Structure 1
Amino acid sequence: MGRVMIIGGGVAGCAAALAMDKAGHDVAVYEAHPDSGADIGAFLTLAGNGMFALTQLGAAEPVADLAFPLTSLRLTAATGEEVATAPLNPGADRLTRYQCLRRADLGRALRSTVAARGIPVHHGARLAAVDEAPGRVTARFGDGRTAEADLLVGADGLGSTVRPLLDPAVVAPRYVGQRVFYGYTTKAAPPTAPARIDMIRGSTAAFGYAVSPDGETYWFARVTDERLTEDEIAHGTPTGWRDQLVPLLRRDTTAAADIVAATDQLMVTNAHDLPDVPRWHTDRVLIIGDAAHAASPATGQGASMALEDAVVLAKSFRDTGSTTEALTTYERLRRPRVAANIAASAQLSTGPSRPGSPPVDEDELHRQLDWATPL
């Protein structure tokens, strides 16, 4: 294996580029957006597994520099009564403890690491077609450009262009029955403690928030409702979403309604998953991350799963003798892991969630992710 082409310059694409570069391949990234495309976006949590994967890529420190740690979780009932408090990954060091940050900041940290490694990123490259031939794959882009490689990795997210090229009959992403609201505010003063994430088991919504060291409250709400149309999302306003959400949260005796009422910076999306993609690869094309196995956001593991994908993919190529064997090994190791996360997220979509890992043999996961340990 020599040349690797990554389609998509987001979290999964940058991580795959870093991992395959570390494994000794000649890597280039092709991103459809004409520039970085970064906006404030939603926030996310990276659990210990995601941070450990980042340490293997040499990217944990720049991510931790933009994040703030989470060391405990408190669960509260709709009445405001505390149900439980628990530590998160106790004993972890700075680079492997839970972290909270904006998705845009995670992308920025990964892109800066990609640039520092000298990995080329080609913007404005919207994939139009893929042609496979023995020993090589050619990508054709909308602007007429072409690129050739030994392997094409589709890391282009839930709306992947690569996925239907592998299998035109593949099912579309599934709406899981929830709208997800996200926001940030410096005007709220909810009950909090340093490095704590609060989850509220509300009567009308699952709500969570964390307060950064500089006093900014990051929050989300998952509300069971009909799917929003693209037009509704495009023309919705922060004021309109806030006015829709606050009355629902006022039914409970918690901090949730006051946090949202104090928020001017608010966004909403539909929660989708991708529970069963039967074909992840051909001889020379592979999909990873949300392009292959998107989960609803309830477990907070989407980014971490993509980071794990990148490490295991690169190790599969490093430790096996052929492209066929590497892709088979990768799929064998990743299928059970991501299926467990999708199922756990789907189940939690009907109730409160906490950031964490799906059920897994921790020793086995550590072995798969530890760069120094053969697969």
Structure 2
Amino acid sequence: MDLNGGLGGHGARTRTALVIGGGVAGPVTALALRRAGITATVYEAYPTAADGVGAWLGLAPNGLAALATVGADAAVRAVGEPVPGMVMADGAGNHFTRFDGFPELPPTMTMPRDRLFRALADHAAGEGIRFEYGKRLVDAKETPEGVTAHFADGTSATADLLIGADGIRSTLRTVIDAQAPAPEYGGVLSFGGYAAADCGIDAEVEVKPGTMYFAFGRAFMGYWRGADGRLIWFAGLPTDTPPSQDELARVPTTEWMSRLRDLYTGHVPGELLLRHTDPDALMVVGQMEQMPSVPHWHRGRMVLVGDAVHAPSSSSGQGASLAMESAVELARCLRDLPTHREAFAAYEALRRPRVEAIGQNAAAVNKVKAGKSAAPAPAIGAPEEMFRALHFHRIAWEETVTTDGR
């Protein structure tokens, strides 16, 4: 795989880019731009690559395919655990839908978010991508030479393009459009944790290795068995008036655990998993959020990618994968179209329908988790059909983009 040039040679008009954000979308965007012949530098607000940030996430086959386009799939597989299967159940332990993955596709990989951040940053740096840490964007201005990013430490940087991969609370989103929407709360506070391998769950319900279980009902819990034997779980605490992150941090984990145990009394297997989880190891993830439809994805020489413009809630299982897809698609459009304006328009046309449909489906699941839906579980069809459009989606890197986004 040629990671330096790529096809087309039409990206000569764009030579350099500043990428704001070193999480998931940022390093993948920089790698994809490099393959398209564009030199990108990543600017990250934190002083180092994120460590100990966030809970577990899933990376679906479509996300792995996007990583393969930029040569980063092996680095990410090395830090993940395969979980190809899925079972939908109720709070009494009854299973009503099972999906074992597509045999022709690689399995979904699960990993802590910070492990993914580190793997992507290390791989990108090893491929020659430059990272600047401690650079928090505060403003951006277009200049005759391109666009200049201004950072909180008083420094600035100029390039042909400025790409916002700065997450769901994106600064660049508000620079592009001061009236841009903010993230929406999904009605649930998210928590995670680990239950001991010998907690006795196997006597109550099936826990097949390589399978993730989703148990709906009065309260929702997802869980699977990790490579070390422990049960990894994530759960929601519905509330109409969520506390802020500072308020969340001030509540002792013992109090959160007490509230969760009360909520999940009688839930199979939530009651058991929580009983065997040490409160000190509880992950207080915070508000389950999603981005509503963002009217303006780009302006002038500035454009958004990943969670900054299309963050679905974690209920989608697609947040990281969609960010990776969009990073590759943006680079492909910049490679093939004569101006950045045409490239940005084609990129939005190619991506908006898919990401917004997935976000809307996840929002419906959030209503079930928050107890705002009459249905006890999300209404889904045959899992194979539901997941086919998600998991088989590919960014056609080898094909040339046209101005109408085809």
Which residue of structure 2 aligns with residue 224 of structure 1? 238
Q: For 2:18 and 2:343, how far apart are their aligned partners in 1?
A: 16
The answer to whether 1:296 aligns with 2:313 is yes
Q: Alpha carbons of 1:360 and 1:166: their partners in 2 closer, same or farther (altered >3 Å)?
A: farther
Out of 323, 326, 343, the position equivalent to 2:360 is: 343
- Mapping for residues 261-300 of structure 1, pairs under 5 Å: 261-264=275-278, 265-268=281-284, 269-300=286-317
- Mapping for residues 1-375 of structure 1, pairs under 5 Å: 1-39=14-52, 41-92=54-105, 96-134=106-144, 136-187=146-197, 188-191=199-202, 192-203=207-218, 205-226=219-240, 227-252=242-267, 254-264=268-278, 265-268=281-284, 269-351=286-368, 352=377, 365-366=393-394, 369-375=395-401
Q: State the one-letter code of the partner of 1:263.
A: T
Q: Alpha carbons of 1:362 and 1:271: their partners in 2 closer, same or farther (altered >3 Å)?
A: closer
CA shift at 1:133, angstroms?
A: 2.5
In the superposition, the TM-score normalised over structure 1's length comes to 0.92
Q: Alpha carbons of 1:330 and 1:360: their partners in 2 closer, same or farther (altered >3 Å)?
A: farther
Q: Alpha carbons of 1:101 and 1:364: their partners in 2 closer, same or farther (altered >3 Å)?
A: closer
Deviation string 1:109-162 (CA, Å, 9 cap, x unpaired) is: 101111111111000111121011245000111111110000000110111111
Q: For 1:160 and 1:359, how far apart are their aligned partners in 2?
A: 29
Unaligned runs of 5+ in 2: 1-13, 369-376, 402-406
Q: State the one-letter code of the partner of 2:171.
A: T
CA shift at 1:24, angstroms?
A: 1.2
Contact 1:49 1:357 in 2 (8 A): no
Contact 1:246 1:261 in 2 (8 A): yes
Contact 1:20 1:314 in 2 (8 A): yes
Structure 1 vs Structure 2 CA RMSD: 2.2
CA shift at 1:89, angstroms?
A: 2.5
Q: For 2:112 and 2:225, how far apart are their aligned partners in 1?
A: 13
Q: Alpha carbons of 1:147 and 1:283: their partners in 2 closer, same or farther (altered >3 Å)?
A: same
Q: For 1:200 and 1:336, how far apart are their aligned partners in 2?
A: 30
SS in 2 for 1:76: strand
Q: Which runs of 4+ in 1 moved over 4 A?
A: 352-364
SS in 2 for 1:295: coil
Contact 2:290 2:312 in 1 (8 A): yes
SS in 2 for 1:263: coil
SS in 2 for 1:66: coil
Unaligned runs of 5+ in 1: none
Q: Which moved more, 1:6-15 or 1:293-302?
A: 293-302
Matched pairs, number? 368
SS in 1 for 2:201: coil
SS in 2 for 1:350: helix
Q: Percent identity?
A: 36
Q: For 2:388 and 2:336, how far apart are their aligned partners in 1?
A: 22
In the superposition, the TM-score normalised over structure 2's length comes to 0.86
CA shift at 1:234, angstroms?
A: 1.8
CA shift at 1:363, angstroms?
A: 10
Contact 2:307 2:323 in 1 (8 A): yes
Q: For 1:149 and 1:257, how far apart are their aligned partners in 2?
A: 54
Q: Alpha carbons of 1:356 and 1:22: their partners in 2 closer, same or farther (altered >3 Å)?
A: farther
Contact 2:57 2:317 in 1 (8 A): yes
Q: Alpha carbons of 1:258 and 1:362: their partners in 2 closer, same or farther (altered >3 Å)?
A: closer
Q: State the one-letter code of the partner of 1:371.
A: W
